Amino acid sequence: MICGSVKPTTSIFLQRLMAFHELVLIGDEAFRYCGQWAAQFRQRMGRAFEGRIIFDVGCYDASFLARVASKHPRIGFVGIDWKVRSLLAGAEEVTRRQLRNAVLIRGRGQEVARIFTAGEVDEIWLFHPEPCDRLQELNNRLFAEPFLLDVHQVLRDGTSTLTLKTDHPGYHQWALGLCGQRQPTWFELARAAREQKVPPQPDWPRVRAGDLVHPSQIPPASSEIKSNFEVSALSHNYWNDPAAKAQMQNRCFADELTHFEHRYTRQRLPIYLLELRKRDDSR
């Protein structure tokens, strides 16, 4: 337990969160079920557990996770977030819905390879990670080589995937660059138009040009990522892209807006999606 190191401003919420010890893993408890997640879900769910495990990184208040988990009672869901107050709301929601198939972790997504052992996870969701778009923050971006190599390790062989969704076009540029994918042509047109104070053309797709970066700031393709994953889905406007939605139709997140997506889609912002599938023959 980490009570001793808790700042006074967070301790009340942390103490309230700790009351959900059956449901929420805090501190080193996060690593308690490493290698035993299937057994743990079997214990919680009995024979209802079908064996699949989904990890939601940055689950916020777990409202999305709880909604999806209640529709898919045979799958085990693990949500992680750093924010105590959000997780507290999540723990209350999971309890209110009496879900046996959801566990929450107070921790950092970067710990994925300590939370799960090799091949233990079927899907990882990285939905609207913090953009970390200032120069000094770029190294904190979760979608980066070290995290993705750990993700590769914990994903099960076969058809397991990591799905990134973001509203942030600069983050999308970054992810496309690392994965060696072509940038949408209108990104550079929109960015240059903004710099030269020229209005965007009406036939360009909508993009928040102020968040786009110069091509020189896009990272080069990572050979490590390429040899470990294939890009299995890509959309520059997921909610208005029938082909991408059809491709995702058998996924349990396909038709569900996340908490933050509700906001973004109200503002008519495109949601970018990039999915990586683990290559079995990698490494």
Q: Are 41 and 75 in contact (CB under 8 A)?
A: no
Q: Indicate the pairing of strand 24-26 with strand 102-106.
A: parallel
Q: Residues 42, 72, 108, 277: which binds ligand SAM (CB under 6 A)?
A: 108
Phi, psi of 236 (to 5 degrees): -95, 5
CB of 201 to ligand SAM, least distance (A): 30
Which of 85, 109, 81, 104 lies closest to 94, judged by CA?
104
CB of 216 to ligand SAM, least distance (A): 27
Identify the DSSP state of 257. Answer: -
Check residue 167 for interaction with ligand SAM (CB under 6 A): no
**Residue with smaller CB distance to ligand SAM, 128 or 251:** 128
From 91-99, 104-112, 173-181, 216-224, give the range in contact with ligand SAM by CB under 6 A: 104-112
**Nearest-angstrom CA–CA distance, 245 and 2:** 42
CB of 180 to ligand SAM, least distance (A): 25
Please count the residues of this chain forming the interface with ligand SAM, following the rule CB under 6 A.
22
CB of 144 to ligand SAM, least distance (A): 11
Q: Residue 92, class by beta-carbon neighbours within 10 Å (0-12 exposed, 13-18 middle, 19+ buried)?
A: middle
**Residue with smaller CB distance to ligand SAM, 82 or 227:** 82
Whole-angstrom CA distances from 14 to 105, 113, 212, 280 are 12, 24, 37, 40
* Footprint of ligand SAM on 117-136 (CB under 6 A): 127-130
Cα-Cα-Cα-Cα torsion 30, 34, 37, 43, nearest 10 degrees, comes to -80
**Residue type for 189, please?**
L
**Residue with smaller CB distance to ligand SAM, 48 or 252:** 252
User: Would the CA dihedral through 262, 264, 269, 274 be positive or negative?
Assistant: negative
Residue closest to ligand SAM (Cβ): 58
* Footprint of ligand SAM on 80-99 (CB under 6 A): 80-83, 86
Residue matched to tokens 């209640």: 70
**Residue with smaller CB distance to ligand SAM, 147 or 187:** 147
* Footprint of ligand SAM on 23-82 (CB under 6 A): 57-60, 64, 80-82
Q: Indicate the pairing of strand 161-166 with strand 53-57.
A: unpaired
* Footprint of ligand SAM on 241-260 (CB under 6 A): 258-260
CB of 55 to ligand SAM, least distance (A): 11
**Residue with smaller CB distance to ligand SAM, 91 or 186:** 91
Check residue 155 for interaction with ligand SAM (CB under 6 A): no
**Residue with smaller CB distance to ligand SAM, 57 or 75:** 57
**Contacts with 112 (C-beta within 8 Å, 6 or more apart), sequence order:** 55, 57, 124, 147, 150, 151, 154
Which residues are near ligand SAM by CB under 6 A? 57-60, 64, 80-83, 86, 108-110, 127-130, 142, 258-261
